[in-house]
Structure 1
Amino acid sequence: MTDLGWITAGAPLAVAAALLVVPGALALAPLRMGWTARAALAGPLSVMVIGVAGIVAAGLGLSFSIWPVLAVAAVLALCAWLARRGGLQLPREPGRVWPLVLTWVLAAAVIAVVAFAAVPSPTAVSQTYDNVFHLSAIAAILEGGDASSLTLRTLIETGDSFSFYPSGWHSLVALTVQVSGTSIPIAVNAAWLAVAAVVWLPGVAWFAQVCIPGSSRTAALVALPLGAAFGAMPYALLTWGTLYPTYLATALLPAAIAVPVLGWRGWRAARAGARRPLLWWSLAATALVAGAVAFGQPRVLVTWALLLAVPVVGVLAAAAGGAWRAGGAERTRLLWLAAAAAAGTIAVAAVGFWYLVTRLGLFERPLDDRLGGPQAQAVQSLGDGVWQVLAQSWLTGVGGAPTWPAPLLAAGVLVGLVVAWRAPRTRWLVGSYALVAALYVLAAGSDDVVTKLATALWYKDKYRLSSALVVVAVVVATLGVMAVSRWIGRRVRARAAVAVGLAWLVAGASAVSLGATGVTDAVGYVFRMPDRAVDEVVSSRQIAFFSQLDDIVPEGQRVAGDPWDGSAWTQVFGGPEPVFPHVNGQWDADRQTIAWHLADIESNPQVCDALDRLMVRYVTYAPRAFGGGDPAGNHFPGPHAAVEAGLFTLVATDGETSLYRIDQCGPLEHAPAS
């Protein structure tokens, strides 16, 4: 962060962090628990509260704001109070808090510097395909007051009343704008940093504590700097996509996995009479953290299930073996359970097969033709992928070259895998790590049918899979660093200090390598903000132009335009609502008419009818296209063709972007269409 302009992000960053901590902390307030656990769970619960509040507020006809969020948090706090009255007890955390706080602050600073050192201002935006929708969705929430996940996708499926898209990320940013008064771009960057600082880092620290219970304080202190050391998470999802909702959901995964793991261990250790209530509270807590992941991005729940599959299968296999050996009623019960599980599996498979055939057209075209987009293309050999996993050398999302290997970090992971395998209670980490690593190698290095089937739930996206690998890798590396520190500690008394110092050595070396060999430059490239756009979504000149459109376009009117020339973001930067807020969508008939036939306005009366219903009398125009244009073909020929035919009246221009008035249809008289 090389400009004093980043100082202006300080207050929005504090607000975003508070929004990710305070609602969850209020919900947890009645419970007695360790500080690391409280910090790790506050983030998921806050995301869950924000997501539920968006749905509840919309259902009650209320505009989304901080007040529904606090109300839902109060309801959760009441549930927590009832749980405590019911005897729920959670492990406390001895020792001083300040070493954890200091380590956490330093680790968060490392992430901020590696991520944004090449971005001169917090007003910069990610110039990527996915971000066109994400910024437009935030602007729509702020303008319309509807943050419900049940309707968010109607922004681009304009003929539907209900269409699901997770609103956790967009609602967080919208609240940051409302509370801090900042702009959407600054709020987005502040929220990204806040998620890394108060969700991801506390999550990996607590996850390490849960997996390494014998040295919980040291494990957290070691895991915090290591959480900033991997190129695949949190950095790659900032440059590839940019996948903000997936990033939020992935940051929630460590805590979301730790909850059921801790619940299972607590259930096993509890006396018989306490097991049933503990089981129910564990299931409730698991449902809450899984719900938080779903409000981030539901597809990350597949990753959550995959990472937990190995320990779950191990537990079930051990229980089945014990029941079979016991014989009698236990064996009979096992057989009935196995039959029920088989029937359930067949039913789920049948539903899945029905969905593939009827909704995705499984037999309409060969599997080889599917998952062929940029995110799914193999970019290297299988051997390259194996080397990247071993060397901790990761693709950045910009260009083809991975970062340099991180030998200290790689050694920590490899030693940690050996240590984890030797201990029965951590052996599952090796299986989960190997499973995700194999999927990453296949996604990045193969385009065959088997690979497409195995990785389809992740869109065959190597970046989603590499970021998921880090969730386990941080804990594994923590085990490795602590093992090496114990070996060194044979000659040194302060083993904990050695472990923390070694962790910072590993993290520092890795951060320098990431910053010097691709990650920082990749973020800088994605967030570039030219004065005149070439293949970017928007330019700084265009942003200034959009911010002045409200002085020209009457209140309540929309503006038409080709979203590929930047017009999708008129509302994001303070102007009127665009007819097309994304470069892709399933548009209603009126929008289709404008997209394809606006140039026929003088011969086709349906064009004026569509413009009337959509409250449109102005068009924005720039003679360029984001990324060179739609690779699937030009689906918005109307606005450009009409302007280039000289059909409309020029009202304003900045030399790059122009605003034209449509005079053929007469004045508008009605309120905007919903």
Structure 2
Amino acid sequence: MEWSLALFPALVAVAIVVVPGLIIAVAAGQKGFEALGVAPAISIAVVAISAILAPGLGITWSLWVPLGFSLLLALLAAGITFTARRLRFEDAPHRPEEQAVRRTWFSSGQAWAYGALVIAGILLTRNITNAIGNPDWVSQTYDVNFHLNAIRYIVDTGNASSLNVASMTAGDNPVEFYPAAWHAIAALILQLTNADVPVIANTMSLVVGAFVWPLSVIYMVRNLFKVTGPTMLVTGAITAAFTGFPLLLIYFGVLYPNSLGVAVMPVGLALLAQLFRAAQTARVSTVPAVFLGILVALGTALAHPNAIMSLLVMVVPLFAFVAGRQIVRALQRSVNPWVAALQVAGMAGLLWLIWFLWGVVRPPQEAGGWEPGQSQSGAVGEFITSNPVAMGHLWLISLLVLAGIYPLLRTRMVWLVASWAYIGFFYVAIRSMSWEDGRDWFTGVWYHDPFRVASIVPVIAIPLAVAAVDALVRALIAHPRLSALGKPTLVMGAIAALLTGGIAYGTQTATYMKSFVETSFWVYHPDEEAALLTQDEYDLLDSLNEHVPEDATIIVNPWTGAGLAYAMSDREVTAYHTNYSLTDDIEVLNQDLEEVLTNPEVCEVIERHNAKYALFFGHREVNEWINGPHTQQYSSLEYLADPEVIDSGQVAQVLDRVGGATLYEITACD
């Protein structure tokens, strides 16, 4: 299957992550690239919140739910913005030197930004499609069972709420919150395109990684710095140069919700810098920054709590910087001391809130448990050389990041450097800190998982690299020989082309990039050693509907990939994920089929669930090297795999077999 066949789902995905948020952003007074850049983060909030509200109103999940909700929020945004303008406090407190840039629908600066988006999109699309290989391949990793089956589950139940999705695996137990924004968007794509579920999942990886991420990064750069046009164009190449994101989370996990949250983190960072006047340029007024910032924070949090906690950690130096700046201004008498005291108290309150949330918004310790895997000095080296989890040094990018420290310090963007160093501390901690030294306290938010922290490093490293490039561009423009040419447009274009082309070539052809893409490819490739699905198993799932009725349930061992029959063939299964709560009936189906001829209860359960079919995908299991085999928990399938059982003709028959993958029909209860 060619990637061109994923074009329509990709266009639908882009529309879903842009349109709801764009409506609200425009209503809040944003225009042009500023409206587009903030749109995906807001759209995620709209999708996630409306999905939670819809079941309580008796509304089935569909595209009209987030669209309708976005119109309501747009009316609210327009009302708040209009009132603030009439009362003249839209940009309060106002400082003359912080006059916001005039908002326009298009400008030369925005043209450079759109150019950067195109460059990043092309480079990232190439890497992501090569890393995944084929759009209908699944990631051969532990969590893909849940993610793909959840897409189908939302469509079947009409409920995309984060308070309900986990019911798919909860059995008879209470349902816990699970961040389902990613799955809600994917379910809308399934409803609108009827594409195969694996294609939708991979399309989401492409749209999140090659569109949402670079759009967010470029928005961040525009709202942090006053950069030249060539610098903005180079930002596109820099954004695509990191393996830490988006490729790392496409390779590892696979962490779809986490990836969605990280992709919009730069927008939150940019809005906070705008709100607290900590950027080099003022593009967003106070009231819109607060309103949009709340939605962006909700979108980031509902995409995945990891992402919002990562963002809060990242801005600790920003809050400290703002407090220190206000103290200095109060001492200089440029700010009323009482106002400064109130603002410092506010910053202290925010820092206390982050500390409080740090101990609350985290999974239980047993949900993680990753051990330290590197020495402290080795972890420091990995961070400085942009070598995520020792998977390849990014020499050119790491040099740019380090070179960006000086110009940022020189322009008083100290907090950005401090934020980079602060995230570096957490990276070193998660790679090297022992449990006795506080590993759980410092890293538990990320499940003690270094991959999750490595994925957020580019968010704060990119601004440093951009600052280095901008200093170089300004030096080149000011060079006497170039300025003597008297053709600024030509000079700017030449500098932009040379630097963008040089960095793109230097990073995209580097060994670390090519090897990382190749490594990811084999995580998806369905060869005979594939952890979840081999090509034979794919072929059997493709023909499953020819043999299994729509109302039937299939007995499966999810550790072998057979549970994906639900997502890929639209047939109910006994286990949607490897981690699920057993009911008594499912336990009978999993373990007691051997008693089908002697124990009437077995047939009663089979009839009750119409579970007359079973998939046997051999003994190869995902994460077997960690969790061990699960053949004892699924002894019914082992019983069916015994040739003597089938030869007897009393229990079951083979309906289809492709290589080592077999579909059985249980006939003992007929």
Matches of 1:490 and 1:465, distance apart in 2: 39
Q: Deviations over 1:111-133 (max 9, x none)?
A: 11122225542212211111121
Question: Pick from 568, 578, 594: which aligns with 1:583?
Answer: 578
Aligned to 2:427: 440
Describe the shift of the 1:516–1:412 C-alpha distance in structure 2 as closer, same or farther (beyond 3 A). closer
Q: Deviations over 1:372-405 (max 9, x none)?
A: 3xxx23333333322222222334xxxxx622x3
One-letter amino acid matched to 2:590: A
Higher alpha-carbon deviation: 468-477 or 629-638: 629-638
1:618 is aligned to 2:613: yes
Shift of 1:204: 0.8
The sequence identity of aligned pairs, in percent, is 23
Describe the shift of the 1:644–1:394 C-alpha distance in structure 2 as closer, same or farther (beyond 3 A). same
1:386 is aligned to 2:380: yes
Higher alpha-carbon deviation: 58-67 or 477-486: 58-67
Describe the shift of the 1:370–1:47 C-alpha distance in structure 2 as closer, same or farther (beyond 3 A). closer
User: 1:202-601 alignment to 2 at 5 Å?
Assistant: 202-212=215-225, 214-215=226-227, 220-265=232-277, 281-319=288-326, 330=338, 348=356, 352=359, 360=364, 371-372=368-369, 376-395=370-389, 402-403=391-392, 405-424=393-412, 426-450=413-437, 451-491=439-479, 492-493=482-483, 494=488, 496-497=492-493, 498=495, 501-513=498-510, 517-530=514-527, 533-601=528-596
Matches of 1:439 and 1:329, distance apart in 2: 35
CA contact (8 A) 1:13 1:190 kept: yes
CA contact (8 A) 2:223 2:279 kept: no
TM-score normalized by the length of structure 2:
0.85
Runs of 4+ off more than 6 Å: 266-270, 321-329, 331-336, 342-347
Q: Deviations over 1:154-192 (max 9, x none)?
A: 111122463211111112222222223321122222221
The residue matched to 1:265 in structure 2 has which SS? coil
Question: Pick from 136, 140, 146: which aligns with 1:133?
Answer: 146
Higher alpha-carbon deviation: 95-104 or 120-129: 95-104
Shift of 1:442: 2.7
Aligned to 1:670: none
Question: Pick from 56, 79, 82: which aligns with 1:82?
Answer: 79
The residue matched to 1:62 in structure 2 has which SS? coil
Aligned to 1:10: 7
Matches of 1:346 and 1:203, distance apart in 2: 23
Shift of 1:342: 11
Gapped runs of 5+ residues in structure 1? 363-368, 396-400, 667-674
One-letter amino acid matched to 1:6: W
Describe the shift of the 1:252–1:346 C-alpha distance in structure 2 as closer, same or farther (beyond 3 A). closer
Aligned to 2:120: 107
CA contact (8 A) 1:601 1:664 kept: yes
Shift of 1:449: 2.9
Describe the shift of the 1:575–1:539 C-alpha distance in structure 2 as closer, same or farther (beyond 3 A). farther
Aligned to 2:195: 182
Describe the shift of the 1:485–1:40 C-alpha distance in structure 2 as closer, same or farther (beyond 3 A). same
The residue matched to 1:151 in structure 2 has which SS? coil
Matches of 2:178 and 2:198, distance apart in 1: 21
Question: Pick from 60, 65, 75: which aligns with 1:68?
Answer: 65
Shift of 1:211: 1.4
Matches of 2:549 and 2:511, distance apart in 1: 49
One-letter amino acid matched to 2:429: L
CA contact (8 A) 1:310 1:432 kept: yes
Shift of 1:253: 0.1
The residue matched to 2:578 in structure 1 has which SS? coil
Gapped runs of 5+ residues in structure 2? 92-99, 646-650
Shift of 1:612: 4.1
Higher alpha-carbon deviation: 438-447 or 329-338: 329-338
TM-score normalized by the length of structure 1:
0.85
The residue matched to 2:2 in structure 1 has which SS? helix
Describe the shift of the 1:504–1:379 C-alpha distance in structure 2 as closer, same or farther (beyond 3 A). farther
Shift of 1:447: 3.9
Shift of 1:266: 9.2
Tell me the number of residue pairs that the alignment of Structure 1 and Structure 2 aligns: 633
Matches of 2:121 and 2:53, distance apart in 1: 33
CA contact (8 A) 2:160 2:184 kept: yes
1:38 is aligned to 2:30: no
Describe the shift of the 1:224–1:284 C-alpha distance in structure 2 as closer, same or farther (beyond 3 A). same
CA contact (8 A) 1:514 1:520 kept: no
The residue matched to 1:432 in structure 2 has which SS? helix
Matches of 2:611 and 2:328, distance apart in 1: 69
Describe the shift of the 1:336–1:409 C-alpha distance in structure 2 as closer, same or farther (beyond 3 A). closer
The residue matched to 2:221 in structure 1 has which SS? helix
CA contact (8 A) 1:100 1:221 kept: yes
One-letter amino acid matched to 1:107: A
Aligned to 2:653: 649
Question: Pick from 660, 663, 666: which aligns with 1:659?
Answer: 663
What's the Cα RMSD here? 3.5
Q: Deviations over 1:556-582 (max 9, x none)?
A: 221111112221100221241111011
One-letter amino acid matched to 1:457: V
Matches of 2:575 and 2:63, distance apart in 1: 29
CA contact (8 A) 1:547 1:570 kept: no
Aligned to 1:21: 18
Shift of 1:323: 6.7
Q: Deviations over 1:251-296 (max 9, x none)?
A: 01000111122122299999xxxx9xx7555333222001111221
CA contact (8 A) 2:168 2:576 kept: yes
Matches of 1:410 and 1:628, distance apart in 2: 33
CA contact (8 A) 1:561 1:639 kept: no
Matches of 2:340 and 2:26, distance apart in 1: 45
Aligned to 1:366: none
One-letter amino acid matched to 1:290: A
Describe the shift of the 1:284–1:332 C-alpha distance in structure 2 as closer, same or farther (beyond 3 A). closer
Describe the shift of the 1:383–1:603 C-alpha distance in structure 2 as closer, same or farther (beyond 3 A). farther
CA contact (8 A) 1:481 1:503 kept: no
Question: Pick from 155, 173, 190: which aligns with 2:168?
Answer: 155
Aligned to 1:671: none
CA contact (8 A) 1:206 1:220 kept: no
Matches of 1:49 and 1:507, distance apart in 2: 35
